[in-house]
Chains A and B, each alone.
Chain A
Amino acid sequence: MDTLDREAQTRQTLAFGLLALVTLGWMAGLALGFALADGAGGGAIRTSPQWLTPALQGVIALAITSVAVILTAITRRIRIRARVLSEALPRLLATN
């Protein structure tokens, strides 16, 4: 049970780390977009749709990965819940 709890906690922390990365990613993409629109970067403006859009899709990919990681944490929590209920419910019913 302790191993499952530790695993769930680690995955939850990892998901939050990924979410921080995602937040940084879309903020950087937005800032870069505004900077390029203001005329900074010269030649980079012309080619920006070719690399900025895929890079931002990479950020979306990280966001979906964080969803996947948090779902693995949920599976472990469900397993813990089932074990606790399996042990506690028979005791509860026996005392009533």
Chain B
Amino acid sequence: MATATITHVGRDLATPRENEGFDMPAMARKLWRPMLAMGLMTVAAGVVAGIIQANLDLPLHVAQVAAWNPSLLFLGIGFLLSAVIFLLATILGELRDGGTSVQQSLGANALILKRPLTGKLFPPAMMMGLMTLIATLVIGFVQAAKLDNDPGGAADIGVWLGPLRFAGVALLFTGVALALATIVRSLRFQAARIDQLAREHAAS
């Protein structure tokens, strides 16, 4: 059973490399590029929409673009932050694979850090943040449609839509912080593992 092979390395829990289940870094390695491209394209679309908005004559049309364009720009920033989180996951994968190859070169059993709570939490934080930003864009379009026949309702939506956008970005930054905290744990684990191997070698 996998839990029987969990050991202590320094202050962290370690598990054999072969016991790791879902390979999150492998997925992140494939997804960071599309996320970055989508982010840049979305922000560029937002800038173009802003220029078009500045040249519109009808105040209703100006207000309609103003209802959804900030959400579009925030979504672009959200895609870019997601790309950063995927790259941090890629770094975690490089640390894991590099650590494994160093241990194997020493003829030792390849142990990896047992995924800490921060490592389990950063992917859902990122997904929740991104979904919140997608929802704000959809709600922005609903608000723009309401401006025509229900301006009061549209104004009500506008009051809470802004804070919701910031909540989405805050969730994404939470994901970045949690991923960085996982990298810190991984570096601490590697230092402790090298120290452990050196002590074992000196004792033998």
Given the complex, which residues of A lie within 8 Å of B81, measured CB to CB? 64
Interface size class of B (residues with CB under 8 A): 35 or more
- Total interface residues on A, CB under 8 Å, equals 30
If over half of B's interface residues share one DSSP class (helix, strand or loop), that class is named, otherwise mixed; here it is helix
Contact, CB under 8 Å: A55 / B47: yes
Contact, CB under 8 Å: B76 / A82: no
- The answer for the CA separation of A9 and B139 in the assembled complex, in Å, is 44
Q: Contact flags (1/0) for A57-88 with B, using CB distance below 8 Å?
A: 11011001101100110110011011101110
Given contacts A50-B65, A68-B87, A96-B201, 7 further A-B contacts (CB under 8 A): A50-B62, A53-B50, A58-B46, A68-B32, A71-B91, A85-B102, A89-B105
The 6 closest A-B pairs by CB, nearest first: A82-B98, A54-B50, A47-B54, A71-B87, A86-B105, A61-B43
- Chain A positions near chain B (C-beta within 8 angstroms): 47, 50-51, 53-55, 57-58, 60-61, 64-65, 67-68, 71-72, 74-75, 78-79, 81-83, 85-87, 89-90, 93, 96
